[in-house]
């Protein structure tokens, strides 16, 4: 295959739906499988990274996830996107690995700082922002796995509630209440840090981690 | 109320909620806090969203062919099956003893004549780190799988899955993959 031909064919792969690519890969078209891989590898890598905090674990999770997809090609029947299936596998694989203790995201931030803050800002402002990020991510880590994964999928991977529901395999209402609960917990957590300007909780004080969801009262004006 | 920040609220509900917050201090403050948290989460994950990986699909194909290693006994899994931990240990042991592994295994487990030394094989099964070398190495492995001396490995995934349904000729690796 000549170089331009290869390029053209890659572009064709990019236009095909996941379903088309799965069927093509099943028939032995390796370009199709590669296209699926390139389509989702970064998202899955990040998902693994957000949960395990370890880039090498995240890469293994990505390889494992796609290797499962490869071996499951014969049974895969994606309705629309293959993403929920892949993410679900990746989430399970991620939680089967022990997150590294005490490595609260410093390895995740370093490489991105330069591109993220291209606008010129003073080192003290950058340090302050890094500290705020650290606090937020540490607060997310205090959530239980069910709530944390919903936060990660929504705020990091950008999935909407319906997509998250497919990934975690529960009703959308459950996802919604998990996300709301997580946000309340984060609010309580972050109100302890004056930098965020969040008012200390007067009507909701879920400070003890032993408290369960129903112990938190709904916010005023909140439906149900 | 958090729906406002998860894109789940209809425009009308959204306007109603905002109108209410204008007249209700408690809701107004709760809304502000939620906005702060949403923005903080978004910012907290921003660096992570820029991370990517240069993983190659070749890694996946190899992994898919190698797993699950426990199902296929290593001496029947052919060449690549020797990546299994037990075999690595044997390879090391043989290295340490300075002898041929043929002496250390039972007759029925002796590799066929076309695979001369398990120690050399072991060294050859170490994937190189560099990408181009890795792909060359991988092709070599896959050729070994398809070779007459090594039986095809079959994987029981949800019933039957025949690994040979995928061709391993070189053309399939020239993916013209975007970088
Ligand atoms: Zn109100």
Confidence of residue A1 (pLDDT cuts 50, 70, 90): very low
**Please, which residues 92-151 of chain B have a Cβ atom closer than 8 Å to chain A?**
none
What integer is the mean pLDDT of B27-37?
Answer: 87
pLDDT in tens, B122-155: 334 444 444 455 455 445 554 544 433 333 333 3
What integer is the mean pLDDT of A205-218?
Answer: 37
- ipTM of predicted assembly, 2 dp: 0.77
pLDDT in tens, A66-110: 999 998 998 888 888 999 999 999 999 998 876 555 444 444 444
Q: Please tell me which residue of chain B has the smallest CA distance to A159.
A: B6
Hey, of B5, B6, B71, B165, which one would you mutate to test binding to chain A, going by the most A CBs within 10 A of its CB?
B6
pTM for this model (two decimals): 0.61
Domain extents in chain A: 9-96, 115-209
Can you tell me the distance from the alpha carbon of A209 to that of A188, in angstroms, rounded to the nearest whole number? 11
Q: What does the block give as tokens for B63? A: 């992994």
Question: B48 vs A156: CB contact, 8 Å cut-off?
Answer: yes
Q: Which residue among B30, B47, B60 places its CB closest to the CB of A67?
A: B60
pLDDT in tens, A8-45: 566 677 788 999 999 999 998 989 999 999 999 999 99
Q: What does the block give as tokens for B79? A: 């060449």
CATH, domain A9-96, list 1.10.1740.10, 3.30.420.40, 3.40.50.970, 2.40.10.10: 1.10.1740.10
Domain extents in chain B: 3-49, 72-101, 102-159
Q: Rounded to 5 degrees, what are φ and ψ at B155? A: -115, 125
At the top level of CATH, the class of A115-209 is: mainly alpha
Q: Which residue among A28, A34, A136 places its CB closest to the CB of B165?
A: A28
- The CA radius of gyration of chain A, in Å to the nearest whole number, is 21
Residues of A in contact with B2 (CB under 8 A): 179-180, 183, 219, 222
* Residue A89 CB-density burial (10 A; 0-12 exposed, 13-18 middle, 19+ buried): buried
Secondary structure, 3-state, chain A: CCHHHHHHHHHHHHHCCHHHHHHHHHCCCHHHHHHHHHHHHHHHHHHHHHHHCCHHHHHHHHHHHHHHHHHCHHHCCCCCCCHHHHHHHHHHHHHCCCCCCCCCCHHHHHHHHHHHCCCCCCHHHHHHHHHHHHHHHHHHHCCCHHHHHHHHHHHHCCCCHHHHHHHHCCCHHHHHHHHHHHHHHHHHHHCCCHHHCCCCCCCCCCCCCCCCHHHCCCCCCCCC
Residues of A in contact with B55 (CB under 8 A): 41, 45, 59, 62-63
Q: How far is B129 from chain A (nearest CA, A)?
A: 13
Confidence of residue B16 (pLDDT cuts 50, 70, 90): confident
DSSP string, B35-92: HHHHHHHHHHHHHHHT------HHHHHHHHHH--TTTS-TTTS-TGGGGSHHHHHHHH
């Amino acid at each position: 295959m000549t170089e331009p031909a290869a390029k053209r064919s890659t572009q064709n792969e990019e236009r095909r739906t996941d379903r088309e690519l799965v069927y093509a890969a099943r028939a032995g078209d390796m370009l199709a499988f590669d296209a699926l891989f390139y389509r989702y590898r970064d998202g899955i890598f990040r998902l693994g990274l957000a949960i395990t905090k370890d880039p090498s674990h995240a890469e293994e999770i990505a390889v494992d996830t796609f290797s499962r997809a490869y071996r499951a090609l014969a049974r895969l029947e994606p309705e629309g996107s293959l993403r929920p299936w892949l993410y679900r596998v990746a989430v399970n694989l991620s939680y089967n690995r022990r997150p590294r203790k005490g490595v609260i995201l410093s390895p995740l931030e370093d490489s991105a700082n330069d591109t993220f803050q291209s606008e010129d800002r003073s080192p003290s402002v950058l340090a302050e922002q890094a500290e705020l990020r650290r606090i937020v991510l540490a607060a997310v880590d205090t959530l239980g796995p069910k709530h944390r994964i919903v936060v990660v999928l929504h705020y990091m991977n950008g999935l909407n509630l319906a997509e998250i529901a497919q990934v975690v395999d529960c009703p959308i209402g459950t996802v919604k209440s998990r996300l709301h609960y997580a946000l309340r917990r984060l609010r309580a957590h972050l109100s302890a840090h004056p930098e965020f300007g969040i008012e200390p909780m007067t009507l909701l004080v879920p400070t003890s981690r032993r408290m369960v969801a129903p112990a938190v009262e709904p916010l005023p004006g909140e439906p149900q | 109320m958090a729906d406002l920040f998860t894109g789940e609220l209809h425009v009308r509900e959204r306007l109603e909620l905002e109108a209410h917050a204008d007249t209700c201090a408690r809701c107004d403050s709760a809304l502000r806090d939620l906005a702060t948290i949403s923005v903080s989460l978004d910012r907290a994950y921003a660096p992570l969203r820029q991370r990517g990986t240069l993983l190659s699909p070749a890694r996946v194909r190899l992994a898919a062919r190698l797993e699950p290693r426990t199902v296929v006994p290593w001496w029947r899994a052919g060449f690549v099956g020797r990546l299994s931990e037990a075999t690595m240990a044997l390879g090391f042991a043989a290295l340490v003893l300075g002898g041929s592994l043929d002496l250390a295994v039972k007759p029925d487990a002796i590799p066929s004549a076309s695979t001369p030394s398990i120690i050399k094989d072991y060294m050859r099964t170490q994937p190189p780190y560099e990408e181009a070398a890795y792909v060359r190495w991988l092709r070599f492995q896959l050729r070994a799988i398809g070779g007459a001396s090594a039986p095809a490995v079959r994987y029981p995934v949800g019933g039957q899955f025949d690994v040979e349904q995928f061709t391993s000729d070189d053309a399939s690796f020239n993916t013209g993959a975007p970088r």
